[in-house]
């Protein structure tokens, strides 16, 4: 039973009915309202934090010289990284014909979209004058000024906006046949109209499916290099600078591995409660959770290798600033954060070597949560410890987050969860047509 | 054709994709050409059986990607070397390695947009109304049933004869789809 990717006895009709019923016939549950309500309170907190920021400027955050990046960039990198698992599951695992991906790809893609949306807020708010954000886009302005394309910050704009657009397209294309299912099964007029408009008149013609399959595969092929490029470009924001601890060629691969690591952890943190709340244990089985645990273990080891190499190179480079940086990470004022990062990101996930940890839902959930915290701490260490003590001791300083830093951060977590709750309520959380294909394939065997 | 209300075609319903593939084969053997199959998930063999082999979509995506690639690069080249040359650390104005990330992103962006818009365009979507939606049974095409529709524009189409032909296949029922 634990090795199956779909529970026994399911037919085309039962998978369709079971998944679409979550959206169509389920009553508004008290748990959903409570969860959405709490998330919405945090969305309001985000609104207050942003409004105050626009009124007063980024002086309300703890950022100042020498730490000019602070929480804004820590959270940006953290959210972008979380998004990566969605694209990895939907695109790379599709190309590798990993059929177990089918029941988790839809909400992993939704998670990507919401995470990238949260991520995009931070650099925008960090601009200081966000209403001039469009200056980053090349357009023929009356000032005759163009963006400077040799800067990784401009690359970032292109990478993140392309990533958001392609993820949205991929997600929407995957949804079209399921929207048609909802249109055909909705009992209310409003539902039929809304799902009908969104389904765009999809009727499952064999010729349409043929083109659809081609488009979907091509999108997967395009999204695969894209997802690797996005976190690479994000790592260039650091690696292109000459700040000790940033100027390193290991950044791109280790950022990408870290992104997948934290993304799978977030999928796990979300999937475990969702499958319990909606009774989807037949579709998101222990096999899925175990596979994700193994991916986490593997990428976690790559991340550990990254930390090890950073330390080794700082010694091997014989560069006093690089060496000091490592000592400062270990024993400086932010030392406890570094050691917490090692515990959360490296030590705790080693439990996944043991089958008992991989087969217990509670231990998986706690480990995944630890990884998410650990990856956030990693970004904090990278951004803050490198900046706060660079070459010249007279310009050293400390960074302390203010209440507004925390409000914005928790506000985006609220936004992420609120969007996720809406998604669970109004769209099929599992790809119905791909589950039918899976039924067909498992029957044929 | 008769004087009765116009028909779009006749719709036969099947339980399994295998039955549908068989039906398409026999309909083609019987000389029908204007027909389409409708399934709740992609069935690879069907488009082959319906004699649909090559789609223009891959070419559209390739062209989109090339346009994005060339457009992305020359945008940066024109801005940085011609219209607004800036000396950044003594680098050449056409410092092409620094232009690669944006060129790459533009390639992916335009190719992905071409894939989605191309797929929708070739499929004639969005199309909110289609005669098939007049048929109540057709709602099951997005659940668990497989349909074959022989359209009235086919030159061999004849209400009685085609109805008889479809009923003799291994179908679960045949219904008429109202036209207009």
The answer to whether A11 touches A174, Cβ cutoff 8 Å, is: no
| Residues A240, A235: Cα–Cα separation, whole Å | 8
| Residues A93, A87: Cα–Cα separation, whole Å | 9
Looking at the complex, report in whole angstroms how far the Cα of residue B2 sits from the nearest Cα belonging to chain A: 28
pLDDT confidence of A443, banded at 50, 70, 90?
low
| Residues B140, A43: Cα–Cα separation, whole Å | 40
8 Å CB contact of A211 and B55 = yes
Which of A181, A210, A222 shows the shortest C-beta gap to B55?
Answer: A210
The predicted model gives A263-267 an average pLDDT of 91
8 Å CB contact of B143 and A138 = no
Chain A residues closer than 8 Å to B112 by CB: 165-166, 169-170, 219, 222-223
pLDDT at B1: 44
8 Å CB contact of A206 and B99 = no
8 Å CB contact of A226 and B108 = yes
pLDDT at A306: 92
How many Cβ pairs within 8 Å bridge chains A and B?
A: 193
**A397–chain B Cβ distance below 8 A for any pair:** no
Q: Which tokens hold the place of B147?
A: 């349909």
The answer to whether A12 touches B144, Cβ cutoff 8 Å, is: yes
Residue A301, class by beta-carbon neighbours within 10 Å (0-12 exposed, 13-18 middle, 19+ buried)?
middle
**Burial code of A251-281, b = ≥16 C-beta within 10 A, e = fewer?**
bbbbbbbbbbbbbbbbbbbbbbebbeebebe
Q: Which tokens hold the place of B2?
A: 């008769």
Chain B residues closer than 8 Å to A90 by CB: none
Chain B residues closer than 8 Å to A200 by CB: 120, 125-128
What is the full DSSP assignment across A139-174?
Answer: ---TT-----TTSHHHHHHHHHHHHHHHHHHHHHHH
What is the full DSSP assignment across A77-113?
Answer: HHHHHHHHHHHIIIIIHHHTT-GGGHHHHHHHHHHHH
Q: Which tokens hold the place of A442?
A: 């498992």
| Residues B129, B151: Cα–Cα separation, whole Å | 16
Partners of residue B13 on adjacent β-strands: B147, B173
| Residues A26, A20: Cα–Cα separation, whole Å | 9
| Residues B22, A22: Cα–Cα separation, whole Å | 35
Query: What beta strand segments (E) does chain B contain?
Result: 7-14, 35-38, 146-151, 173-178
pLDDT tens string A302-351:
999 999 999 999 999 999 999 999 999 999 999 999 999 999 999 999 99
Q: Which residue has the higher pLDDT, A120 or A443?
A: A120
Strands of the sheet containing B146-151, edge to edge, are B35-38, B146-151, B7-14, B173-178
pLDDT at A419: 94
pLDDT tens string A354-369:
999 888 899 999 999 9
Chain B residues closer than 8 Å to A177 by CB: 40-41, 142
Query: What beta strand segments (E) does A232-328 contain?
Result: none
pLDDT at A415: 95
The answer to whether B160 touches B152, Cβ cutoff 8 Å, is: no
Query: Taking 60 as the threshold, does the pLDDT of residue B81 lie above it?
Result: yes
Query: Taking 90 as the threshold, does the pLDDT of residue B137 lie above it?
Result: no
The answer to whether B11 touches B135, Cβ cutoff 8 Å, is: yes
pLDDT tens string B7-26:
888 888 888 888 888 888 88
pLDDT confidence of A2, banded at 50, 70, 90?
very low
pLDDT confidence of A39, banded at 50, 70, 90?
very high
Chain A residues closer than 8 Å to B91 by CB: 150
The answer to whether A219 touches A91, Cβ cutoff 8 Å, is: yes
**A114–chain B Cβ distance below 8 A for any pair:** no
pLDDT tens string B33-78:
888 888 888 888 888 777 777 788 899 999 999 999 999 999 999 9
- Report the relative pairing of strands B146-151 and B35-38 from DSSP bridges: antiparallel
Give CA A387 to chain center in angstroms: 25
Looking at the complex, report in whole angstroms how far the Cα of residue A343 sits from the nearest Cα belonging to chain B: 35
Looking at the complex, report in whole angstroms how far the Cα of residue A355 sits from the nearest Cα belonging to chain B: 36
Q: Which of B43, B96, B101 to mutate to test the interface with A (most CBs of A within 10 A)?
A: B101
pLDDT tens string A394-412:
999 999 999 999 999 999 9
- For A164, name the nearest residue in chain B, comparing CA atoms only: B109
**A11–chain B Cβ distance below 8 A for any pair:** yes
8 Å CB contact of A13 and B38 = no
How large a percentage of chain B has pLDDT more than 70?
97
SS3 A220: helix
Chain A residues closer than 8 Å to B79 by CB: 138, 146-147, 149
Looking at the complex, report in whole angstroms how far the Cα of residue A133 sits from the nearest Cα belonging to chain B: 18
Which of B38, B57, B91 shows the shortest C-beta gap to A203?
Answer: B38
Chain A residues closer than 8 Å to B50 by CB: 206-207
SS3 A334: coil
- For B136, name the nearest residue in chain A, comparing CA atoms only: A184
Q: Which residues lie closer than 8 Å to A39 by C-beta, 6 or more apart?
A: A414, A415, A417, A418, A420, A421
Which of B104, B112, B141 shows the shortest C-beta gap to A203?
Answer: B141
SS3 B7: strand
| Residues A293, B24: Cα–Cα separation, whole Å | 45
**A162–chain B Cβ distance below 8 A for any pair:** yes
The predicted model gives A200-212 an average pLDDT of 88
pLDDT tens string A213-237:
899 999 999 998 998 899 999 999 9
pLDDT confidence of A1, banded at 50, 70, 90?
very low
8 Å CB contact of B98 and A149 = yes
Residue A55, class by beta-carbon neighbours within 10 Å (0-12 exposed, 13-18 middle, 19+ buried)?
exposed
pLDDT confidence of A12, banded at 50, 70, 90?
confident
**A433–chain B Cβ distance below 8 A for any pair:** yes
Instruction: Identify which of A21, A138, A146, A334 has the alpha carbon closest to the alpha carbon of residue B143.
Output: A21
The ipTM, to two decimals, is 0.89
For all residues of chain A together, what is the average pLDDT? 88
- Residue B172 dihedral angles phi and psi, to the nearest 5°: -95, 5
pLDDT tens string A108-140:
889 999 999 999 999 999 998 889 888 888 998
The predicted model gives A167-181 an average pLDDT of 90
The answer to whether A192 touches A183, Cβ cutoff 8 Å, is: yes
Kindly report whether the peptide bond that precedes residue B126 is cis, defined as omega within 30 degrees of 0: yes
Rg value, chain A, Cα: 23
For all residues of chain B together, what is the average pLDDT? 85
8 Å CB contact of B42 and A209 = yes
| Residues A82, A220: Cα–Cα separation, whole Å | 19
């Amino acid at each position: 039973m634990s090795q199956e990717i779909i529970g026994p006895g399911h037919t085309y009709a039962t998978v369709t009915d079971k998944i679409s019923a979550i959206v169509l016939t389920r009553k508004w549950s008290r748990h959903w309202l409570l969860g959405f309500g709490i998330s919405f309170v945090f969305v309001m907190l985000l609104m207050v934090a942003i409004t105050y920021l626009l009124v007063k400027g980024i002086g309300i955050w703890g950022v100042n010289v020498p730490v000019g990046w602070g929480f804004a960039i820590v959270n940006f990198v953290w959210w972008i990284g979380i998004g990566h698992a969605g694209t990895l599951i939907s695109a790379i695992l599709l190309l590798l014909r990993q059929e177990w991906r089918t029941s988790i790809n839809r909400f992993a893609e939704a998670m990507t979209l919401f995470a990238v949306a949260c991520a995009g807020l931070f650099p925008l708010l960090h601009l200081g004058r966000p209403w001039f954000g469009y200056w980053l886009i090349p357009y023929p302005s009356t000032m005759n000024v163009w963006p400077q394309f040799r800067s990784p910050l401009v690359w970032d704009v292109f990478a993140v906006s392309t990533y958001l657009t392609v993820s949205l397209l991929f997600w929407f294309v995957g949804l079209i046949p399921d929207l048609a299912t909802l249109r055909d099964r909705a009992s209310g007029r409003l539902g039929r109209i809304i799902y009908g408009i969104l389904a765009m008149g999809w009727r499952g013609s064999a010729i349409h499916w043929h083109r659809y399959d081609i488009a979907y595969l091509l999108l997967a092929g395009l999204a695969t290099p894209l997802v690797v490029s996005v976190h690479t470009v994000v790592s260039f924001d650091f690696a292109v600078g000459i700040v000790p601890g940033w100027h390193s060629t290991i950044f791109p691969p280790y950022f990408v591995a870290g992104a997948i690591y934290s993304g799978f952890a977030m999928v796990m943190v979300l999937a475990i409660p969702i499958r319990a709340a909606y009774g989807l244990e037949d579709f998101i089985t222990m096999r899925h959770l175990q596979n994700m645990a193994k991916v986490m273990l593997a990428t976690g080891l790559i991340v550990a290798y990254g930390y090890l190499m950073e330390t080794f190179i700082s010694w091997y480079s014989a560069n006093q600033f690089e060496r000091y940086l490592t000592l400062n990470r270990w024993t400086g004022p932010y030392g406890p954060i570094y050691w917490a990062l090692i515990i959360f990101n490296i030590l705790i996930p080693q439990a996944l070597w043991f089958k008992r940890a991989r087969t217990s839902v509670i231990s998986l959930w706690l480990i995944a949560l630890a990884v998410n915290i650990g990856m956030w701490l990693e970004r904090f260490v990278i951004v803050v410890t490198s900046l706060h003590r660079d070459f010249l001791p007279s310009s050293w300083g400390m960074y302390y987050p203010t209440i507004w830093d925390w409000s914005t951060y928790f506000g985006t977590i609220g936004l992420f969860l609120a969007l996720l709750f809406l998604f669970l309520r109004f769209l099929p959380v599992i790809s119905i047509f791909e589950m039918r294909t899976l039924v067909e394939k498992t029957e044929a065997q | 054709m008769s004087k009765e209300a116009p028909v779009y075609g006749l719709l036969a319903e099947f339980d399994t994709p295998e039955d549908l593939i068989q039906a398409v084969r026999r309909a083609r053997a019987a000389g029908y050409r204007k027909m389409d199959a409708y399934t709740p998930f992609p069935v690879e063999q069907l488009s082959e059986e319906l004699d649909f082999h090559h789609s223009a979509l891959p070419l559209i995506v390739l062209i989109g990607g090339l346009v994005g690639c060339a457009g992305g690069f020359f945008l940066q080249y024109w801005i940085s070397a011609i219209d607004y040359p800036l000396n950044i650390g003594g680098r050449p104005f056409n410092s092409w390695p620094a232009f690669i990330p944006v060129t790459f992103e533009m390639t992916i962006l335009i190719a992905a947009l071409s894939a989605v818009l191309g797929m929708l365009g070739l499929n004639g979507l969005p199309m909110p109304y289609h005669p098939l939606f007049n048929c109540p049974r057709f709602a099951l095409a997005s659940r668990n049933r497989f349909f074959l529709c022989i359209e009235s524009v086919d030159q061999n189409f004849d209400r009685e004869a085609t109805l008889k032909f479809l009923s003799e296949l291994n179908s679960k029922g045949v219904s008429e789809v109202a036209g207009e």
